[in-house]
């Protein structure tokens, strides 16, 4: 039950601390929003300024076309006036409308609108640029007001859960509490049972040829790991509490060597390399024998 409470405190505390800690004060929120808007305004302002420049160029081109058209009409009128004077008549120039006038006016109006929009964006950009990051003290006080209390509560829950979990682990390792079948693991019994089954396995593969399948042998190794060796690994905290880290490291190092060589045996059988499988299995058996001797020596010091 204590383990469940500890895990609950850890998970709830993490969630509360993360949720509350992610909040920001009003000034910091305003600053972050200003920075985000500035990035968007910058791109939009560049586009408007580029469009404004295009309209200005187009307006200048239309003005040139309009002037050239006016010069052409003036030349036509001058020629017509001289011809009229030559025959003793008066010449009245006809009223004409420039074919570029309407388009030129439309471009000028659009340019004025775009220019006004660009000016407004520039003013907004200037205003946003003046929004500064609040001072550390302001950020702290506003963060505490927005969510700091929840963050502190979450941290306290995490610390409480961690302390409870460590206490529970220490109690389990010392054997003060029962946590199911793991507490029933006996190092010596399991190692002896594993050695007995590996002795039989060594006999089974003694005449195994190269490149032969060894499905049954590999399945037996899997069972030895699952039924006998892995429970010892899961209960190692109890053995450290029983003998101390230095003594534990002595016999458990041999045990780990047996595990490694047994894994190599499985791999060699999978590859069809019977010679290497037999050699690795022999090393595993020797390592487990050393682990058993080391355990007995440790027990003799404890007694």
Q: Are residues 271 and 191 in the same domain?
A: yes
In a domain, 252, yes or no: yes
Structural domain contains residue 8: no
For the stretch 16-69, pLDDT in tens is: 666 665 667 778 778 888 888 888 888 888 888 899 899 999 989 988 988 899
Pair 187, 291 in one domain: yes
By the 8 A CB rule, do 262 and 225 touch? Answer: yes
Is the same domain home to 203 and 124?
A: no
Whether 290 is covered by a domain: the verdict is yes
CB 288 within 8 A of CB 194: yes
Domain that holds residue 83: 26-133
Query: Does residue 165 form part of some domain?
Result: no
Q: Is residue 145 part of a domain?
A: no
The 8-class DSSP code of residue 184 comes to: G
Identify whether residues 129 and 187 lie together within a single domain.
no
* Residue bearing the bigger pLDDT, 181 or 173: 173
Rounded to a whole number of angstroms, the CA Rg of the chain reads: 45
How many domains is the chain partitioned into structurally? 2
Which of 111, 133, 155 is at the close of a domain? 133
d(CA 266, CA 285): 14
Do 211 and 287 fall into the same domain? Answer: yes
pLDDT band at 151 (very low <50, low <70, confident <90, very high): low
Is residue 112 one of the residues assigned to a domain?
yes
Exposure class string for 174-196: b at 16+ Cβ within 10 A, else e: eeeeeeeeeeebebeebbbebbe
Would residue 6 count as lying in a domain? no
Task: Tell me whether residue 296 is in a domain.
Answer: yes
Cα separation, 289 vs 206, whole angstroms: 20
Domain match, 191 and 292 both: yes
Last residue in a domain, options 74, 105, 133: 133
Backbone torsions φ then ψ of 65, nearest 5 degrees: -60, -40
Q: Are residues 121 and 197 in the same domain?
A: no
pLDDT tens digit sequence for 31-45: 888 888 888 888 888
127 and 212 both lie in a single domain: no
Out of 110, 133, 156, pick the residue that ends a domain: 133
pLDDT tens digits along 82-132 = 888 888 888 888 888 888 888 888 988 998 998 999 888 888 888 888 888
Same domain, 268 and 199: yes
Share of the chain above pLDDT 90, in %: 36
Q: Tell whether the torsion through CA atoms of 119, 123, 126 and 131 is positive or negative.
A: negative
Mean pLDDT of the chain: 84
Q: What is the pLDDT of residue 219?
A: 95
């Amino acid at each position: 039950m204590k383990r469940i409470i500890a895990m609950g405190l850890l998970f709830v505390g993490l969630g509360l601390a993360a949720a509350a800690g992610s909040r920001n004060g009003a000034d910091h929120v305003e600053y972050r929003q200003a920075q985000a808007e500035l990035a968007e305004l910058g791109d939009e302002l560049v586009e408007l300024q580029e469009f404004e420049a295009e309209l200005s160029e187009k307006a200048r081109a239309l003005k040139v076309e309009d002037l050239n058209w006016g010069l052409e009409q003036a030349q036509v009128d001058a020629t017509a006036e001289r011809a009229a004077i030559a025959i003793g008549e008066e010449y009245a120039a006809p009223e004409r409308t420039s074919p570029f006038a309407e388009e030129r006016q439309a471009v000028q109006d659009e340019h004025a609108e775009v220019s006004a929009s660009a000016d407004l964006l520039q003013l907004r950009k200037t205003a946003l640029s003046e929004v500064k990051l609040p001072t550390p003290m302001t950020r702290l006080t506003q963060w505490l007001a927005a969510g700091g209390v929840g963050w502190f509560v979450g941290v306290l829950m995490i610390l409480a859960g961690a302390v409870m979990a460590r206490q529970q682990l220490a109690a389990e390792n010392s054997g003060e509490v029962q946590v199911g079948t793991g507490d029933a693991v006996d190092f010596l019994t399991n190692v002896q049972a594993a050695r007995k089954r590996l002795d039989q396995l060594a006999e089974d593969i003694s005449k195994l040829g190269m490149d032969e399948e060894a499905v049954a042998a590999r399945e037996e190794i899997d069972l030895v790991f699952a039924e006998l060796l892995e429970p010892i690994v899961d209960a190692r905290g109890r053995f450290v509490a029983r003998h101390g880290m230095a003594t534990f490291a002595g016999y458990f190092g041999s045990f780990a060597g047996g595990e490694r060589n047994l894994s190599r045996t499985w791999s060699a059988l999978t590859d069809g390399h019977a010679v290497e499988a037999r050699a690795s299995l022999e090393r595993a058996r020797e390592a487990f024998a050393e682990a058993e001797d080391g355990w007995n020596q440790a027990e003799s010091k404890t007694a």
